[in-house]
Amino acid sequence: MAIERTLSIIKPDATARNLTGKIIDKLESAGLRVIAQKRTRWTREQAEAFYAVHQERPFFNDLVAFMTSGPIVPQVLEGENAVAKNREVMGATNPAEADTGTIRAEFAENIERNSVHGSDSVENAAAEIALCFNDEDIVG
């Protein structure tokens, strides 16, 4: 297995409920290492750029409104098989379908307000990390 990096975002529904630490605990307990992190709030332009792949989806405008509604905590996670490992710890997009013990099963409010984002491939991870962080702010 390879050491990978992936982008995680703690979403506004989770920061609003003061769940940042509990989510980081789940990630770290699964063996993922936080090697960059910040708290920020996206503009509409930033959210639209990040979710450009979902532009044609019916939920796109709502998703952009949600992701700009409050603070988010983007993170770079590093570890063995980090992309898949993070998706495993996150659980399914719809919390009703997420496995017990996953972040979304425990914390997500619904399919949109689902507490975390995680890159879905190594290629997308690299692009998403570059959108969110400068190289010198990633310290492995």
Give the catalytic positions in this structure.
Answer: 117
| Residues in the chain, total | 140
Q: Is the CB of 100 or the CB of 135 nearer to ligand ATP?
A: 100
Q: Is the CB of 61 or the CB of 137 nearer to Mg ion?
A: 61
Q: Is the CB of 79 or the CB of 135 nearer to ligand ATP?
A: 79
9 to 38, contacts with Mg ion by CB under 5 A?
A: none
Q: Is the CB of 105 or the CB of 111 nearer to ligand ATP?
A: 111
How far apart are the C-alpha atoms of 97 and 32, rounded to whole Å? 23
Residues at the contact surface with ligand ATP, assessed by CB under 6 A: 54, 59, 63, 93, 111-112, 114, 117-118, 120
| Cβ-contact 118, 106 below 8 angstroms | no
CB of 62 to ligand ATP, least distance (A): 6
Name the residue among 72, 82, 86 with its Cα closest to residue 132.
Answer: 72
Q: Which 3 state secondary structure label does DSSP give 109?
A: coil
- Bridge partners of 10? 73, 116
CB of 120 to Mg ion, least distance (A): 5
Q: Choosing among Mg ion, ligand ATP, none, which partner's interface includes residue 126 (Cβ < 5 to 8 Å by kind)?
A: none
- Bridge partners of 34? 77
According to DSSP, the β-strands at 73-80 and 116-118 are unpaired
CB of 42 to ligand ATP, least distance (A): 13
How far apart are the C-alpha atoms of 8 and 91, rounded to whole Å? 13
CB of 93 to ligand ATP, least distance (A): 3
Q: Which one-letter DSSP state was computed for residue 99?
A: P
Contacts with Mg ion by CB under 5 A lie at 120
